[in-house]
């Protein structure tokens, strides 16, 4: 089941929040939606889910419109977190699961499994308002996945969580993907997307500026980094013909080259000058690619 967006646009008055966005989100993959504040991520999610109509363009999932009849197949963690503060965790989750077509006898064992997994079984009978923000977020995540959706849309799922909880949620998301769920999540943190996603789209002021498979994006960028740590001064490399860009780092230098054989030439240039502790050929980071493409820092 492929989620397809064709020339999707959303305007609010004369302001264009999403501008001619076309995407194919493959099934059973993790797709990352990146963009700074106001880039148009949430608006795109709302249109995918049918919570808001697009001004132009088409959105389909498996060649069909996404409407309320698909609720049981879709999970959504909205950006504006919202649970009923006075309800107890389990009652709340049972209720939300019921809206997705699950009987209480089915949802309760799932709820307990997830609360155990997120190491909060003791919150089962607590009211939402008694939980910290991060723990409320975990409960809301559970509500998005309890009914085992085929398509899971997560708006900034990791924001506001401490590092331990970020890892816990990431592991859960990876497991869901391996179980066959297609996952689309937004983030303003490039490293989350680099780590988790096969494909991605970077939005910038409503427009997609970079999209496709992560590996393809990196390969087609046509540049690599060489990280060097050495016991001698590396500044002589600054004017080396094979180096596209040289940057001094705390331990040595970060050099941008075009291809592997340039790295080899660079390695040879270091010989006889002293001790080389590290010489690492790396793929460019998404951040670097973004800066080169868009001409400004990401955030």
Q: Could you list the residues that contact ligand ATP (CB under 6 A)?
A: 12, 17, 35, 37-43, 79, 188
Q: 10 or 150, CB closer to ligand ATP?
A: 10
Alpha helices in the chain (DSSP H): 41-48, 89-99, 104-117, 133-145, 163-178, 190-196, 214-221, 260-270, 286-294
Closest CA to 202 of 41, 88, 70, 45: 41
**Least Å from the CB of residue 234 to ligand ATP:** 39
Q: 38 or 180, CB closer to ligand ATP?
A: 38
**Least Å from the CB of residue 1 to ligand ATP:** 24
Angle at which helices 133-145 and 89-99 cross, to 10°: 30
Q: 16 or 60, CB closer to ligand ATP?
A: 16
Angle at which helices 163-178 and 133-145 cross, to 10°: 0
**Least Å from the CB of residue 225 to ligand ATP:** 28
Q: 150 or 188, CB closer to ligand ATP?
A: 188
**Least Å from the CB of residue 20 to ligand ATP:** 15
Q: 120 or 210, CB closer to ligand ATP?
A: 210
**Least Å from the CB of residue 46 to ligand ATP:** 8
Alpha helices in 118-237 (DSSP H): 133-145, 163-178, 190-196, 214-221
As a whole number of angstroms, the distance between CA 211 and CA 217 comes to: 7
Cβ atoms within 10 A of the Cβ of 112, count? 14
Residue given tokens 């709820």 in the structure block: 111
């Amino acid at each position: 089941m492929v989620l397809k967006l064709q020339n999707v646009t959303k305007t609010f008055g004369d302001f264009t929040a999403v501008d001619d966005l076309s995407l194919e989100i493959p099934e059973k993959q993790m797709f990352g939606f990146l963009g700074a504040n106001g880039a148009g991520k949430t608006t795109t999610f709302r249109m995918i889910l049918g919570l808001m109509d697009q001004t132009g363009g088409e959105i389909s999932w498996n060649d069909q419109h996404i409407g309320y009849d698909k609720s049981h197949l879709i999970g959504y963690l909205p950006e504006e977190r919202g649970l009923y503060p006075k309800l107890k965790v389990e009652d709340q989750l049972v209720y939300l699961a019921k809206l997705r077509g699950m009987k209480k006898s089915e949802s309760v064992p799932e709820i307990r499994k997830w609360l155990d997994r997120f190491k909060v079984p003791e919150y089962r009978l607590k009211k939402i308002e008694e939980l910290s923000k991060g723990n409320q977020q975990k409960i809301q995540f559970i509500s998005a996945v309890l009914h085992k959706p085929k398509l899971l849309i997560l708006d900034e799922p990791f924001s506001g969580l401490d590092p331990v909880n970020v890892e816990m949620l990431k592991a859960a998301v990876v497991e869901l993907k391996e179980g066959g769920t297609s996952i689309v999540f937004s983030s303003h943190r490039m490293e989350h997307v680099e780590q988790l996603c096969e494909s991605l789209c970077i939005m910038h002021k409503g427009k997609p500026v970079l999209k496709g498979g992560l590996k393809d994006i990196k390969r087609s960028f046509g540049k690599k980094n060489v990280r060097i740590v050495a016991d001698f001064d590396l500044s002589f490399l600054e004017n080396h013909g094979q180096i596209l860009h040289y940057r001094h780092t705390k331990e040595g230098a970060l050099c941008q080259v075009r291809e592997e054989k340039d790295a080899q030439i660079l390695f040879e240039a270091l010989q006889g000058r002293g001790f080389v502790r590290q010489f690492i050929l790396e793929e460019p980071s998404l951040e670097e690619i973004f800066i080169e493409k868009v001409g400004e820092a990401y955030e």
